[in-house]
Structure 1
Amino acid sequence: MTDNPRFRTHPYDRDLSTEVTALTPEGGVICAETIFYPTGGGQPGDAGWLRWEGGEIAIATAVKGEGGAVILVPAEPAALPPPGTAVVQELDWERRHRHMRMHTALHLLSVVIPRPVTGGQVGTEKGRLDFDMPEPPADLAALEARLNAMVAADLPVREEWISDDELAANPGLVKTMSVAPPKGQGWVRLIRIGQGEGTVDLQPCGGTHVASTGEIGPLRLGKIEKKGRQNRRVSLVFA
């Protein structure tokens, strides 16, 4: 798709040569391209480093700016490279890869607990989904076994695109009640886990994911917490 940012088209890139196009009044850096994922959809913004001839800064996170821009936020106040400077972006790859693994794992969690999702958060050690679920799951061991079976099956994880009209005609694709899929650009990104008749999940998502479920590694269900009359929070942990 046109205007599909590099952190989506090349999620395994660890560094990128680009140039600074603007600085924000708050001290953020905007580049021509970026491999840094900006905070959104329950996934934290990427951290890493920005290097150029004669200088470097640590990047604490990335956030969304106006017009689709991604703003790199320095970890502390420092001299910034002016617009036009050639720079190299470098991700904190271990942190990003853990986010990719956990984000894909949370999609699998929404498969084994087929209830509407009311919220979620991706982390490096654990993640969680909130479900519209008045009663807790009955057999946690069985759910955990299903999760790990899908991981062990090493199912492919791929992106595809549908039009806004196609999404409107298939409202069942949207599992998350708290975050609406981005519409208005004409196209919506879907993440498919599995393929053909072996597809286990297909839903709109703008986050970064691993290429196959085998990359996630073993999983363990964490706490089940009651959050309101009908909401329950289910935590997922790397085993």
Structure 2
Amino acid sequence: MTALLFRDDAYLRSASAVVVAAGPEGIILDRTPFYPRSGGQPGDAGTITWDGGEAAIAEAAKGEADAVRHPVAEGSPLPPVGATVTATIDWAQRHRHMRMHTALHLLCAALPGVGVTGGQIGAQKSRLDFDMAEPPSKEWLAEALNALAAGNHAVSDRWIAEAELDAMPSLVRTLSVQPPRGSGRIRLVRIGAEAAPVDLQPCGGTHVANTSEIGRIIVLKLESKGRQNRRVQIALEDQV
């Protein structure tokens, strides 16, 4: 099992760790700041360095038994098992993912009560698919999103028991994918005040600390992907 340091601090860029295993499928560490690909969010890229060596990490991914795999780029060396290393993420890429992920939460908030049928986070553009027949206009949606982003809403998280989520099924916006279960607890991400949140739903990804950090959001397109499926694609103005 790899300790997931990004869960406690999404702004952590580097951390020391010990190599548990290293082979063709990647490096396993006892702890890591790297987010592994999951939930529509790409895994972090970066480097792992040790005394006398450095490996480029293409994209962190989930491994077996709650481990995080750090696949090395072709030609990179592997550290010896037991070595103390420094794991450093590509911060510019991670921060874009954090801003995008938080922006997608605001997209959910702008369309309350509408189920999400799919999604993908990217550094340049991201999307959510919604179960709705008639989407709003691009102009209305862009205005609503940017009003929420400019609202300086704090972003926080807390853990609840799986039984608590069962008692509040409306918190789950995704129709095709349910939050991972089995550990006995679920992570809730809240945007806004506890008494009146802008958005509140289960999520295991990384987010910015305040919506003002997102910047201006552009609605690139609204597409029909079926009789009841509408795709909304967004980008961040400073990344276009």
TM range (shorter): over 0.9
**Partner residue in 1 for 2:10:** 11
Secondary structure class of the residue paired with 1:103: helix
- Structure 2 counterparts to residues 66-77 of structure 1, below 5 A: 66-77=64-75
Does residue 133 of structure 2 align to residue 134 of structure 1?
A: yes
**Partner residue in 2 for 1:91:** 89
Secondary structure class of the residue paired with 2:39: coil
Shift of 1:193: 0.2
Distance in 1, Cα, partners of 2:231 & 2:197: 26
**Partner residue in 1 for 2:56:** 58
Shift of 1:230: 1.3
Distance in 2, Cα, partners of 1:58 & 1:214: 32
Distance in 1, Cα, partners of 2:151 & 2:76: 47
Distance in 1, Cα, partners of 2:207 & 2:62: 19
Distance in 2, Cα, partners of 1:136 & 1:193: 23
Shift of 1:196: 2.9
**Partner residue in 1 for 2:178:** 180
Which residue of 173, 189, 192 maps to 1:191?
189
When normalised by structure 2's length, the TM-score is: 0.94
Shift of 1:78: 3.0
Secondary structure class of the residue paired with 1:196: coil
Shift of 1:182: 1.2
Alignment coverage as a number of residue pairs = 235
- Structure 2 counterparts to residues 119-158 of structure 1, below 5 A: 119-137=118-136, 139-158=137-156
**Which has the larger displacement, 74-83 or 10-19?**
74-83
Cα root mean square deviation, aligned: 1.3
**CA deviation vs aligned residue, 1:177-219 (integer Å, no higher than 9, x gap):** 1221011111000000001334111000000000010110000
Structure 2, unpaired ranges of 5+: none
For 2:102, the aligned partner's letter is T
**Partner residue in 2 for 1:226:** 224
**CA deviation vs aligned residue, 1:42-96 (integer Å, no higher than 9, x gap):** 0000000111111101100011011110000112143200210111011100000
Secondary structure class of the residue paired with 2:148: helix
Structure 1, unpaired ranges of 5+: none
Instruction: Quote the sequence identity (%).
Output: 54
